[in-house]
Amino acid sequence: MSDQASTIMVNTLEPQSGTTLTVGKSGQNLQVNADSLKANVAKDAGGNALFTSDGSGNLSGLNSGLGSAQTLIQTQTVTNQATVSFTSGIDSTYVEYVFAFYNINPATDAAVFGFQGNGAGESGYNESITSSAFRANHAEADNWTSLSYQGGTMDQANQTAFQEIAITQSNDADSGLAGELHLFNPASTTYVKHFYCRTSFMWYTTNQPQYGDAFGTDMYVGGYFNTTTAIDDIQFKMSSGNFDGKIKMYGIK
């Protein structure tokens, strides 16, 4: 047989028997020159599954060796609600939980968006929190900017109020908050539970009309739940009134 390269053109390759098709000899490298490779299960040379798809892009059986890929656990769509609570899925399965915010719009101007946790077997969303915060502002009219530490009610010192993560938010029809809250190792019964949050939203500016009708605000908050009790519930709410939007909860191993 000639050693020269040749080309085989077919629409379908199938195994002679069974369901396994082998291309190339053991120890050889297979090169695929294409813009896509379609498979619902990807395995390594030892037959270990790297991931499994349901054919619609939803993955399961993700091999831990692939690292900290986010897994969507739950989505809650909010329509004129006072609170949104995540009361399941927060456990020792993941070491980090991410809450992603999409178009969070308050019904009340100048409302403050915040969250609190609930210890396992407890109630009331009143865990002790120690935190700090700062924000940057930029007016749409480009006539005012600021960068400042946020004291007062935003930085808690072992207090049990809802942690503020977006203050004085506008409820304009085109105003919607976006951002993420990261919560680390909430199932630990040894350590406090650290978190950090970053949000972007439109500032309510009625008290400062000289700077125009809107500011872009970038807010950072970090801290911890000062408890060694596992945190298994998280609740979000505005300081007054209801709100709309969407919140997704992801887990990271």
pLDDT of residue 179: 98
Alpha helix ranges (H) inside 123-253: none
C-alpha dist (Å) from residue 249 to 68, 73, 165: 15, 6, 17
Proportion of the chain above pLDDT 70, given as a percent? 86
Query: Taking a C-beta distance cutoff of 8 angstroms, is the pair 168, 204 a contact?
Result: yes
d(CA 145, CA 199): 17
pLDDT digits (tens, 9 = 90+) for 63-101: 666 655 789 999 999 999 999 999 999 999 999 999 999
Q: Which domains does the chain have, with CATH numbers?
A: 70-252 (2.60.120)
Q: In the structure, what pLDDT confidence band is assigned to residue 1 with cuts at 50, 70 and 90? A: very low
Q: DSSP assignment, residue 121?
A: T
Residue 252 CB contacts under 8 Å (≥ 6 apart), including other chains: 68, 69, 70, 71, 94, 95, 96, 97, 98
- Look at residue 174 and tell me whether its pLDDT is greater than 80: yes
Q: Select the more confidently predicted residue: 15 or 250.
A: 250
Residue 87 CB contacts under 8 Å (≥ 6 apart), including other chains: 232, 233
Q: In the structure, what pLDDT confidence band is assigned to residue 148 with cuts at 50, 70 and 90? A: very high
